[in-house]
């Protein structure tokens, strides 16, 4: 069993990538596994429609310890969290296991909980490659520091103007708040990329994935000897058990791989100017220039 862990900002196309990967043989997508505990405590539904605590799949996977009793993430808070993230990044770079009681008690404990769930899901589904769409760079570092040989990242990028507009449209946040979130997330992603080594990190751009889904998937799956059989999202099952996905993929809405670049027409001029002033350097660094 191996884990492909998607790392990136929200609204970067990670749900699309997860679903495309899950269509291939021997691949199973978990969604945002790190949120399993919190979402079941909040009585949120699984993608199958049942509340997570009542979903047959997750009840079977969780066994005697129900999802709502599980601590699947070390919730970010304060300076200790930031320091432990940097310490984990340094240890990963050096090929070491991070030292310290705090790592074992918080970060590693959450990683171990997730790893046991990976194992149970692999048993249940027979999958050889699991997709964890948890996205958060800090949680990825806990996983990688704890299971360096089994957890591989894919760093997913999208034009920051697209991320900003998608967040504004979806959640109603102001341009300033959306840009703050973008900048903060890019910094965390860089910490995680540097921990892996910039020339070793596997990258994927949302725009390139939409342009050539077969090629993009083949590149990600070739290390696992998994062929790309289809990129037809219409083949996606309606009864799925991924956690916390994008609402676009719920229900019977038409599914296709289609590049969403509505920001080019719809992003308000003042928001675009604020983005250019505050974040264009980061966006250029990711290769988005026009």
**Contact with Zn ion (CB under 5 A) among 48, 102, 150, 201:** 48
**Contact with Zn ion (CB under 5 A) among 38, 55, 89, 156:** 55
**Judged by CB under 5 A, does residue 46 bind Zn ion?**
yes
Least separation in angstroms between CB 244 and Zn ion:
12
Scanning 57-65, 67-75, 104-112, 134-142 for contacts with Zn ion by CB under 5 A, the matching segment is 57-65
Give first-to-last CA distance, the chain, whole Å.
41
Least separation in angstroms between CB 71 and Zn ion:
21
Number of residues that bind Zn ion (CB under 5 A): 5
Q: CB neighbours of 250 closer than 8 A, spacing ≥ 6?
A: 47
**Judged by CB under 5 A, does residue 177 bind Zn ion?**
no
Cβ proximity to Zn ion: between 27 and 179 the closer is 27
Within 239-258, the residues that bind Zn ion by CB under 5 A are 241
**Judged by CB under 5 A, does residue 29 bind Zn ion?**
no
> Of 164, 134, 171, 180, nearest to 260 (Cα)?
164
Cβ proximity to Zn ion: between 55 and 91 the closer is 55
CA–CA separation, 132 vs 140, rounded Å?
10
**Judged by CB under 5 A, does residue 106 bind Zn ion?**
no
**Judged by CB under 5 A, does residue 35 bind Zn ion?**
no
Scanning 38-46, 77-85, 168-176, 260-268 for contacts with Zn ion by CB under 5 A, the matching segment is 38-46
CA–CA separation, 127 vs 155, rounded Å?
22
Six-digit token pair at 116? Answer: 């046991």
Distance of CA 128 to CAs 33, 41, 122, 138, 258, Å? Answer: 17, 29, 7, 25, 28
* Alpha carbon 131 to its chain's center: 9
Cross-strand pairs, 155: 7, 203
CA–CA separation, 27 vs 56, rounded Å?
20
Least separation in angstroms between CB 112 and Zn ion:
23
**Site residues (vs Zn ion, CB under 5 A):** 46, 48, 55, 57, 241
């Amino acid at each position: 069993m191996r884990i492909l862990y998607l790392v990136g900002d929200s609204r970067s196309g990670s749900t699309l990538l997860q679903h495309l990967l899950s269509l291939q043989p021997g691949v199973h997508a978990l969604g945002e596994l790190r949120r399993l505990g919190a979402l079941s405590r909040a009585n949120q539904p699984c993608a199958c429609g049942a509340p997570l605590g009542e979903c047959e799949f997750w009840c079977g996977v969780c066994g005697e310890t129900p999802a709502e009793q599980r601590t699947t993430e070390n919730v970010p808070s304060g300076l200790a969290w930031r320091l432990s993230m940097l310490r984990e990044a340094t240890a990963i770079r050096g090929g070491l296991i991070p030292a310290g009681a705090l790592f074992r008690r918080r970060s590693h404990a959450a990683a171990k909980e997730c790893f046991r769930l990976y194992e149970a899901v692999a048993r249940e589904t027979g999958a050889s490659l699991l997709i964890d769409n948890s996205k958060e760079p800090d949680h990825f570092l806990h996983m990688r520091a704890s299971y360096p040989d089994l957890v591989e990242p894919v760093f997913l990028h999208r034009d920051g103007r697209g991320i900003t507009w998608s967040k504004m449209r979806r959640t109603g946040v102001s341009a300033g708040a959306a840009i703050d979130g973008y900048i903060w997330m890019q910094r965390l992603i860089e910490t995680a990329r540097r921990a892996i080594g910039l020339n070793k990190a596997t990258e994927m751009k949302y725009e390139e994935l939409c342009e050539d889904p077969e090629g993009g998937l083949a590149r990600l799956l070739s290390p696992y000897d998994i062929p790309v059989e289809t990129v037809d999202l219409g083949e996606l099952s309606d009864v799925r058990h991924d956690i916390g996905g994008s609402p676009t993929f719920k229900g019977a809405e038409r599914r296709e791989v289609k590049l969403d670049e509505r920001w080019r027409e719809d992003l308000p001029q003042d928001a675009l100017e604020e983005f250019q002033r505050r974040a264009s350097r980061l966006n250029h660094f990711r290769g988005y220039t026009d």
